[in-house]
Structure 1
Amino acid sequence: MATPAQDLAPVLDKDGVRLTVDDALATVTLTNPAKRNAQSPALWRALIEAGRLLPGSVRVVMLRGEGKSFSAGLDRQMFTPEGIPGEPNFIDLAHRDDAEIDATIAQYQEAFTWWRRNDIVSVAAVQGHAIGAGFQLALACDLRVVADDVQFAMRETSLGLVPDLTGTHPLVGLVGYARALEICATGRFVDARESVASGLANLAVPAAELDAAARDLAAALLAAPRDAVVETKALLKSAVDRTYDEQRAAERAAQARRLRDLAGIGE
């Protein structure tokens, strides 16, 4: 943790995404502050590549955005008839058949899925605007630390669309159905105080302290033995889909594996 991620040689630095690795900690940074880290298919492909390039030594991944905004959502060019050169715009997508639309969106979603892998814990450090795709990218992570100026908003519904970048499942899990529906259907802003109170964020700090707070959380996560964290994360992720008795059984099985591992007894 002694070496700031921005001082490390990047493993990946392209299309608005930079990946650096410092032993067990990886940092993914959105690097287009001039456009408030607006998202595009090229950025999503770079995020997918970052996930594939993570060394096996990495246990915690920190996600951050340069500048005043974490990510203000989709690049506005995607809404125009001209679109982004070489990329399908919304009109192009609308003219494709269901299978093609499904395949295209599924490809985009891959940028948002790997953050919840059982072998890592992901922490989003979120400041300023996190709108639409930006909100959903923050929701893709396991944990969120927010600056006191954070403004979450899900604006897709206001534009006649739906949130389709994997954000609906974690949002309902964090804040409940009724509040998730209200946030999405109204497109209103959710500030730092509400984020913490509703369970959307784990911690809110002054903006100047955001990176330090995220690094402190990463250090705390790294202090526990890796296999214990992996087993615990898997238990918690699956708890909602199990009955009480099924979860008790899963706990017993996981603990048996941990006891044998600590005792040096192979299965």
Structure 2
Amino acid sequence: MSLIGEERKDYILSQINSEGKVMTNKLVEALQVSSETIRRYLEDLEEANKLKRVYGGAVKMNRSQEEPSHMNREVLNADEKRKIGKAAAALVEDNEIIFIDDGSTTLQMIEHLLDKEYLTILTNSIPALFALIDYKNRDLYSGEIIFTGGKVSSLQSRVVGSLAESMVEHFYADKAFISIDGMIIDKGVTSFDEERGQLAKKMMKHAKMNVVVADHSKIGLVQFYKMADLQEIDVIVSGVPVPEDWKAELERVCVQWIESE
């Protein structure tokens, strides 16, 4: 593989984003350069805060082990999230019952659901609830709204906990739309928060189809709580193409990847 230095670094970052890590020996083989050259590339990328070097290679930079507040999440990758929300909403049919979790990406679905007829939306997201109430009061949304009660997380503007989980147990949905905090091919989809992740697991268990929405920053990351394996997901909607080295495994477990436009 004949690549100039900057292109080689781009290749390394591409591998980091898809796998979450790179190994020096594999990069030597793939790029056909010396281990000393790879070491210099990794040093340069670490200085640029693009990755973190570890023994034998490097891992993706995880800028925070804590979940940003809902307000901060809304403005991160906002344009990409709007496009993902629109593409995810296109999967919803008239007369369906759907779960929408508290993610800032799933929130972007709401405005694109207004033309659906006889829809029932169940959510634990306080901003989604307020948006739906506003649209309903202005006669822009004609469907039903069901809000899961429970413990309120004011920082994240959501409801979680055992009461919310118990309420979800009483419903079955056609589709569940779930936001995630990390996704990697061999570790599935993950969340910063155990309570949020547990409620999402309940939603997915009670839905006929599970749709994960994820902007590019979530791909290749692993967070604290495992929400599901990839084979428990039916569709992934993202703002970027499927990583090349994920294609075979996603096909094996029958997961469809939709790139938003």
User: Could you state the TM-score of these two structures normalised by the residue count of structure 1?
Assistant: 0.26
Q: Comparing both chains, which one has the higher relative contact order based on Cα–Cα distances under 8 Å and sequence gaps of 6 or more?
A: 2
Instruction: Give the helix-richer structure, 1 or 2.
Output: 1
